[in-house]
C-alpha cells in the first residue's frame, strides 16, 4: 500500500505531526485524521470558553477534510473524542448528529480527560474515513 502524510493548506500548520495519513487500500482510500481542535488556519482559538462553538468548529473541520479527499459524512467510520467535562456529552451528541449519518453512525470512543495540550481547548476529535475510489 502507498501511504502519504499530508497537511491540507486550509488547516493550521501542525508542529511535529501531520494532519492526515492517506492510505491506498486498492479500491478505497483510508483517511486517518489527527485530533482536530478549535484552532483556525492561523492558529487562533475559535469559541473561547464556548463548548458548543468549539464542537461545531471541530465537526465542520472533520467533514471539510473528508470532503477535501472526495468523501462525505457517510464515509466517516470512526471518531475518538476527548473532552474535559462529562456534562458536555449531551451538547456534543446534539452537534455531532448534524454532521454524521445518524442512520448508520460511525464507531466512536469518548474519553473524559483531565487536560488537553492547551487550557482554552475544551475538546479534541480524531477520525478515520474510508472513501471509495
Reported as a single tens digit per residue, the pLDDT across 72-131 is: 999 999 999 999 999 999 999 999 999 999 999 999 999 999 999 999 999 999 999 999
Q: How far apart are CA 131 and CA 56, in angstroms?
A: 23
- In sequence order, the β-bridge partners of residue 83 are 112, 123
Per-residue pLDDT tens digits for 42-67: 999 999 999 999 999 999 999 999 99
Q: Is the pLDDT of residue 133 over 70?
A: yes
Q: Residues 6 or more apart from 64 whose CB is under 8 A from it?
A: 10
CB 31, CB 6: distance < 8 Å? no
The pLDDT confidence band at residue 2, using thresholds 50, 70 and 90, is confident
Task: Report pLDDT for 123.
Answer: 98
Amino acid at each position: 500500500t502507498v501511504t502519504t502524510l499530508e497537511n491540507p493548506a486550509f488547516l493550521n500548520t501542525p508542529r511535529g505531526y501531520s494532519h492526515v495519513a492517506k492510505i491506498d487500500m486498492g479500491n478505497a482510500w483510508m483517511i486517518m485524521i489527527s485530533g482536530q481542535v478549535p484552532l483556525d488556519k492561523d492558529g487562533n482559538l475559535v469559541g473561547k470558553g464556548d463548548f458548543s462553538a468549539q464542537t461545531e468548529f471541530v465537526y465542520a473541520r472533520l467533514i471539510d477534510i473528508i470532503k477535501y479527499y472526495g468523501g462525505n459524512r457517510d464515509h466517516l467510520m470512526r471518531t475518538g473524542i476527548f473532552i474535559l467535562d462529562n456534562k458536555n456529552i449531551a451538547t456534543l451528541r446534539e452537534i455531532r448528529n448534524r454532521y454524521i449519518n445518524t442512520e448508520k453512525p460511525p464507531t466512536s470512543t469518548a474519553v473524559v480527560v483531565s487536560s488537553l495540550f492547551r487550557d482554552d481547548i475544551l475538546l479534541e476529535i480524531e477520525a478515520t474515513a474510508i472513501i471509495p475510489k
